[in-house]
Structure 1
């Protein structure tokens, strides 16, 4: 395998607790492009803030090639964000990214890496996406970013994706643009991917697949539930909107979801509340209001009954430092370091 003048140099900046599946989905297509073509079309390097190994969210340690102050010339730098977004400790990285604003450097965000790019002002007036769990936070914190809920976004010299296996779709799209779709399709086939998903595919699994049912009235009712969190509908309202009686609706929920509409609705609202507690800095009372709880005591009681702790205890637990214990062995580029 030989290097050509057209070899593109891709860097991956790994944040502590980065998503291993998203990172692997991004870097593996580059390796496969080289293997299939017999030419080093891409050279990749791994980067951390200080040049030290970085541990993923699953505890797998990865040795890197460079620190931020000793970077080679790159065509694109991808930021592989933490999962979940780290609330503190990103100041040095954000400051460094902010300095790249006038460099003309192409930048990418994988998963929550998009959030760090936005913090540095690198996504102002760009289309961008992020994992659906963090979409509301990106929308709220950065009104100058055109946030979508798509799998990935390619906007001029900014490449963002929602994380997970969507990173592979984004990289295959970029390889297709640069090297031809025949190569991208061959890589997809090697990875046993049924198809290369387009960027405007939606992130969430279709509702009928999530529920495991194909009952139109039930699906319509659940869609209404998910669209009306802050001002919940009554069971009678739901039944009226989907055109059946309340008793028929309750029968559908019992048969297909083994629960009642009101209980299902409450669980959806509590899950949304948990998401906001984890992914936003909104006050607990505001979280409760946005999830349809007009009473703070009712919100606290319902949350504790479902999750075993109150919303305030949930927030406090999140703020506590995690005991990492003994670190697992560190993986280098191709071998285990002991």
Structure 2
């Protein structure tokens, strides 16, 4: 579309300065979550034919940072060199715990005390929670990090929404969820006409709200549309720490245990017990890789009463032990416990 022919969305002039967003880029941040937001701001300016938003890229050291895709970004400034009225968005990605420094946490707390609006994109919700800035608040984080986040921050009201706005704290689950968040912000700031125009430019035809959840429905995920099978899997996913027996699961959906066995064999080529075990081990792997929980506590959180049984099941499924999976994150005490169990 030629610049002279583009549609301009009328936006009421408030006399205020453009809203400034400071993007705090952490080492190995997720590129899509970041670019989804910044493109929304750019297109909003273009469609309104005026500068509604400005932005800057900041980070520790103020030099450069590399995203998880290996692309290097030149930063505009160090953390302390921000406009006083900036809205802060922390952009996280891979191994966010390693990218979270004491200096960053202290800086965020200082900015929060002055009343700065702030949020986390993708895994950066972890950073805000670690700084104590989400206590008693609703928030969301990428579904892959939900288990570890829940274990570490029980004072945060964690949801499975694509994004959450709770007062001056916002969070988005990553990926295209950042588009939904930014469309919400643009609509709140300048009206739905502009927000919808931005969505059209992005060819984004299905705008989600904070009531939409991140993951695909169970039938879509497993490729099977069977209501009772979906119901049983949902019960399994909600009861990892205290597993429910196949007999009770079958009874709750009005089936016999044998019927449930046949259902799982037919559609998923495994028994209910095997499928449940894989769910529990998947959660255990997330906790091992993303938290500092002891292996024993991970085992308990995933429904294993015996650490040795947990280690045996884990090794059978992943061809390694929980202790080796954690690698350098494991403590000497855990290594000694492992040797005793072996």
Name the TM-score, length of structure 2 as normaliser: 0.86
Aligned-residue RMSD, C-alpha: 2.2
1:85 offset after TM fit, Å?
Answer: 2.3
Match of 1:176 in 2: 187
Q: How many residues align?
A: 319
Judging changes above 3 Å, is the alpha-carbon distance between structure 1 residues 222 and 85 closer, same or farther for their aligned structure 2 residues? Answer: same
Match of 1:7 in 2: 18
Match of 1:59 in 2: 70
Runs of 4+ in 1 over 6 A off after TM superposition: none
Tell me how far apart the structure 2 counterparts of residues 317 and 307 of structure 1 sit (CA, whole Å): 18
Judging changes above 3 Å, is the alpha-carbon distance between structure 1 residues 147 and 226 closer, same or farther for their aligned structure 2 residues? Answer: closer
1:31 offset after TM fit, Å?
Answer: 1.0
58, 61, 64: which one aligns with 1:50: 61
Match of 2:337 in 1: none
Tell me how far apart the structure 1 counterparts of residues 313 and 200 of structure 2 sit (CA, whole Å): 48
Tell me how far apart the structure 1 counterparts of residues 306 and 153 of structure 2 sit (CA, whole Å): 30
1:156 offset after TM fit, Å?
Answer: 1.9
Is 1:315 paired with 2:315? no
Structure 2: gaps (5+ residues): 4-12, 332-342
| Equivalence map 1:1-338=2 (5 Å) | 5-87=16-98, 90-317=101-328
**Does structure 2 retain, via aligned residues, the 8 Å contact 1:78–1:107?**
yes
Structure 1: gaps (5+ residues): 321-338
**Does structure 2 retain, via aligned residues, the 8 Å contact 1:75–1:105?**
yes
Tell me how far apart the structure 2 counterparts of residues 25 and 259 of structure 1 sit (CA, whole Å): 39
**Does structure 2 retain, via aligned residues, the 8 Å contact 1:10–1:76?**
yes
**Does structure 2 retain, via aligned residues, the 8 Å contact 1:19–1:81?**
yes
Tell me which moved more, 140-149 or 41-50. Answer: 140-149
Structure possessing the higher relative contact order (Cα contacts under 8 Å, 6 or more residues apart): 1
Tell me how far apart the structure 2 counterparts of residues 287 and 5 of structure 1 sit (CA, whole Å): 51
1:176 offset after TM fit, Å?
Answer: 0.5
Judging changes above 3 Å, is the alpha-carbon distance between structure 1 residues 136 and 271 closer, same or farther for their aligned structure 2 residues? Answer: closer
